[in-house]
Amino acid sequence: MLWVHSGPGDLSFITWSADGDGSDGEGGVRRAYEEIGERLDAANLVILSERVFGDVSTAASVVENRAAALGENTDNAIIPPTHIEGAPCVGNGVAGIHVIAARPSTIDSVETIDWGGAPCGRRIVGDDASYLALSDLARLLPAEMRTRPSDETREALL
């Protein structure tokens, strides 16, 4: 099932939920991304943030189906989704997909943020505001730096 909520302003929220038995990351997810892509294209929206909820074992299949539906080098496919581990309430596979998208004011108002050559975020200037979303920066950090912010926070709180 797909829900689309437009607003406020340039933002739109798109949520897909698997049927009661979940999705294996194949047919259901592919159809979901095809429909999400159609909605994005019809409303001239670009993905700011995207989360896939489900078994981590389906991540590779989800990425393949996403690329097949959205294309591999389009504005909506460049930033990888964040996978959130967790099985559907019933069944297995993918429980859902949540997309936050924005409508750019012009074609030139979409900027991909990268670090070390890896895409990690998006800046979109819309008619109502400028939006910045960063995605999964931890994957780009050296291992010794990944725990530093939480260690510093813990020390500050203790």
Model confidence at 24: pLDDT above 50: yes
| Distance linking the first and last C-alpha atoms of the chain | 45
Mean pLDDT over the full length of the chain: 85
State residue 98's pLDDT score. 97
pLDDT for the residue 42: 95
DSSP string, 117-128: TEEEEEEEE-SS
Q: Supply φ then ψ for residue 44, to 5 degrees.
A: 55, 50
**What global pTM score does this model have?**
0.83
What pLDDT does 13 receive?
A: 98
pLDDT at 25 over 60: no
Architecture of domain 2-157: 2-Layer Sandwich (3.30)
- pLDDT exceeding 90 applies to what percent of the chain? 46
Assess whether pLDDT exceeds 90 at residue 146: no
Q: Give the closest residue to 75 by CA, choosing from 119, 140, 31.
A: 119
Strands (E), 19-129: 46-54, 82-85, 94-102, 110-115, 118-125
Q: What is the pLDDT of residues 93-126, one digit of tens each?
A: 899 999 999 999 998 899 998 877 888 889 999 9
Asked if 39 and 156 touch (Cβ cutoff 8 Å), the reply is no
The encoded tokens of residue 145 equal 């730096």
pLDDT at 158: 45
Q: From CA 42, how far away is CA 63, in angstroms rounded?
A: 22
The neighbouring-strand residues paired with 5 are 13
Whether residue 104 has a cis bond before it, omega within 30° of 0: no
**pLDDT at 141 (0 to 100):** 63
